[in-house]
Structure 1
């Protein structure tokens, strides 16, 4: 039997803490034997969890002896972590213990220096902040979870469930993991990643000199636009526009335009019954085949699959 310690840190997200507790507590081996011993560990007698108060069952010292330590996310992931927690995680990894994070719990692992040079993920909404704060981490914001040696990280909310089921599969095989998935009423493996959920290229009001041209692109993306037309709308030369786009958005002007068109297409797929071919033309793609290819490359699923997943009816 494996021992799992889930850390109850102050400001913890209750869902992130409950997911590993539920999955590992209900995992059963042949003969109805428990697969895991689950502990909820914290340094304080009780911790704030938004609308809840949580009383950890054991102290951090007990978590140090676990086979797997799980770090849930916190409502404010940039909040400094208790040095005792960071030291616990560093010591555990040095000893060979597996460590996993749920959602923005990856910030805690990165703060401990455990993700430097490693591939990791976190909730897409916090990915930009994470990349700025921890540039040494190889962030992959499109996947549901990432595995790099003894360190495992997951994306937001339900992706923590995907990660926990993956851990069960690694520990006990597909049959036991499939049974755990049935108990959770969830697929053992989900296709795709975070990509379909990401809001792409939405102006934020913090884009410096490009604010006006981004708003112009938003209104005119459905037109057959050229780079020269974008530059003219910005009142800049083509080279200057391209340089500023790269500096401020990390993309070329045409890449940004494509992202806006795809976001507009996502909205139409969610809210209308227009055909995919019609939507392609509505949002500015020259052909439906070009639209389907770029949509799948960007979002990670086809327009048809996206509609089935997100259509409001």
Structure 2
């Protein structure tokens, strides 16, 4: 049975605890249980999260763990010499060491990410890069595994992180079964963006939301303004005015944003040719897609495809 040491500290983010559920559900699979999770802290006993919920923990000791996992906080977590020393010690005897969200700052302070690729919650990525220049911070990633140093983005990204660990241990079918039982999509690839175009657009009314949802489900189509207006049950004039007011973008710009997001996900998660990706996401040709990618991401789809291959390797 694989042991997981989950490190928390006063003020940790309680949502990170959902990572434990991944291992809990894994234990219900045929042949289980596979994991034993121990909650750890510097002093042991009750440790209170930023939400005021207290969890019981055991005090740091010299036990060995297959996986050492440190949680994050709503902000950048404070450290103590004892916490940093424990992370350094446990990393030397664990198969893999991981952080959730801003827990990456603790691994970084312990020197465990030097010379490696790492990510964290998007709000702390630039600060992580500034404080620890030896780390190759990739701020727009769901999670990264660099030679068994795992880091993840914030909040629910811990589910993707732990599903990937289970996939490494038990196989893809096991990870899919766990995701299905937890009622989440099968884990997002590590290279997938932390951001969602629909969230960024933030429509205020159901009608504009309906039009955007329609567009996202029909990216292969031309998606004229008239077609989107029909989806929203508005006249072309009403729709165009309301769309600009609510999202700050024209319908054409918003559709392009949805197209490049879907195309990037398709590139990162599959082995499709760029011609196929362009066609499936409504770009008339790969050159139009290339120009849209440069506007959105500052790099062409070929560069993103190379990065995805590196992640897979």
TM range (shorter): 0.5 to 0.7
Give, in whole Å, the separation in 2 of the partners of 1:160 and 1:179: 17
Show the counterpart of 1:51.
51
CA deviations on 1:15-50 (whole Å, 9 max, x unpaired) are 11x122111111136536222111111133222312
How many residue pairs end up in the alignment? 226
The offset of 1:76, in angstroms, is 3.4
Distance 1:72 1:195, change over 3 A: closer
Q: Contact (CA 8 Å) 2:65, 2:93: kept in 1 or not?
A: no
Q: Contact (CA 8 Å) 1:101, 1:152: kept in 2 or not?
A: yes
CA deviations on 1:119-170 (whole Å, 9 max, x unpaired) are 1000111111111111111101111111111210001111111111000000
Q: In structure 2, which of residues 164, 173, 176 is the aligned counterpart of residue 175 of structure 1? A: 173
Q: In structure 1, which of residues 73, 85, 88 is the aligned counterpart of residue 86 of structure 2? A: 88
Match of 1:70, SS state, is strand
Give, in whole Å, the separation in 2 of the partners of 1:277 and 1:97: 46
Give matches, 1:35-114, under 5 Å. 35-44=34-43, 45-61=45-61, 64-79=63-78, 81-114=79-112
The offset of 1:67, in angstroms, is 1.0
Within the alignment, does 1:187 sit opposite 2:185 as a pair? Answer: yes
Match of 2:9, SS state, is coil
Distance 1:104 1:269, change over 3 A: farther
Give, in whole Å, the separation in 1 of the partners of 2:289 and 2:164: 35
Within the alignment, does 1:2 sit opposite 2:2 as a pair? Answer: yes
Give, in whole Å, the separation in 2 of the partners of 1:300 and 1:87: 43
The offset of 1:190, in angstroms, is 2.2
Distance 1:179 1:83, change over 3 A: same
CA deviations on 1:181-216 (whole Å, 9 max, x unpaired) are 11221122326623535999xxxxxxxxxxxxxxxx
TM-score, with structure 1 as normaliser? 0.63
Match of 1:41, SS state, is strand
The offset of 1:291, in angstroms, is 5.9
Give, in whole Å, the separation in 2 of the partners of 1:90 and 1:61: 13
Give, in whole Å, the separation in 2 of the partners of 1:110 and 1:136: 9
Give, in whole Å, the separation in 2 of the partners of 1:180 and 1:119: 27
Give, in whole Å, the separation in 1 of the partners of 2:254 and 2:69: 47
Give, in whole Å, the separation in 2 of the partners of 1:278 and 1:93: 45
Within the alignment, does 1:34 sit opposite 2:10 as a pair? Answer: no
Match of 1:58, SS state, is strand
The offset of 1:97, in angstroms, is 3.1
Match of 1:38, SS state, is strand
Match of 1:193, SS state, is coil
Give matches, 1:117-196, under 5 Å. 117-190=115-188, 193-194=192-193, 196=195
Q: Contact (CA 8 Å) 2:294, 2:300: kept in 1 or not?
A: no
TM-score, with structure 2 as normaliser? 0.63
Give, in whole Å, the separation in 2 of the partners of 1:176 and 1:298: 37
The offset of 1:56, in angstroms, is 2.5
Q: In structure 1, which of residues 275, 294, 306 is the aligned counterpart of residue 251 of structure 2? A: 275
Give, in whole Å, the separation in 1 of the partners of 2:131 and 2:120: 13
Give, in whole Å, the separation in 2 of the partners of 1:40 and 1:86: 17
Distance 1:49 1:292, change over 3 A: same
